[in-house]
Amino acid sequence: MRGWLDRFLSDLEGEQRASPHTLRAYRQDLEDFLRHWEELSGPAPAPDHLDTTVIRSYLASLSGRLSPSTVGRRLSALRSFCRYLMRWEALEQNPARLVAMPRRPRPLPVAPEPGVLGLLVEAPSADTPLGVRDRALLETLYGAGLRRGECVALNLDDLDGEEDGMTIHVRHGKRGKQRMVPLGTAGVQALRAYLRQRPRLLERARGAGSPEALFLNCRGGRLSGRSVARIVARYRPAAGMSPDASPHSLRHSYATHMLDSGADLRAIQELLGHSSLSTTQRYTHVSMSRLLEVYDDAHPRARKKPPEPS
């Protein structure tokens, strides 16, 4: 089975162009399952001995230790692995398909108000190259709705600048998808200010940097996803944001604020790079809750406290 696992991960990387993060998650999840299986049946179990009993035993061992979403992710990895084994006729059927996904709550996206986001993107100092970079990064995350992985993967040639705007070629979305995303005036101004300061960061690399990368770290190399999370955390207090706010919160805000302003749900789906409209529809619940608040405050027949008798 471990040989099949190596082949599976190799095909994920080569054929489906899975990201290093995805490959690492698949390997960790599936190796954890194989360890459990080997404890039950001994070393080197064969694919044709895999059945629902083993899978249910594994999921039961995770119950109470991991969240339902994490357990569901591991079952999803098993389903994909079993499909691969069936494709190569190492398995006749997919036993993981017969095991139900754990029920998991779907929390609504956290979407700070536009004024809060304004405070966040204006928090970095304009007097240092790193401060100018941070503002450009925050403006790009919020102004284009990018995932942090997509943002740090941007190269200089992914920008298509115009006099009145700019478009970003996102080449590194999930499963290698590509899309074009516009960036508004504030984002364009912040990016152009950063591009004027960027050579100073690249000089620190002394020839060992990442000259093609858009966002650079203090040593002239490509900025990492963890650094993006730290940058958002650094400026959260200045904006009064929740400690739970993350780079993805800016993406949630992008979608929610666009929807609140009347943007079409299909257009938002394309801009976010969602495969399914159901994923984008999560933001309609956020907007609906706000509409209900407006209704309760404004409509005479709404659920308001009745006036005190005179």
Of 194, 187, 146, nearest to 169 by C-alpha is 146
Q: What is the end-to-end Cα distance of the chain in Å, rounded?
A: 79
Residue 7 burial (C-beta neighbours within 10 Å; 0-12, 13-18, 19+): middle
Rounded distance between C-alpha atoms, residue 136 and residue 124, angstroms: 9
For residues 92 and 49, the answer to whether their CB atoms sit within 8 Å is no
Active site residues: 147, 174, 248, 251, 274, 283
For residues 256 and 263, the answer to whether their CB atoms sit within 8 Å is no
For residues 207 and 91, the answer to whether their CB atoms sit within 8 Å is no
Of 232, 203, 240, nearest to 137 by C-alpha is 232
Strand partners, 222: 216
Q: How many CA atoms lie within 13 A of 26 on its CB side?
A: 23
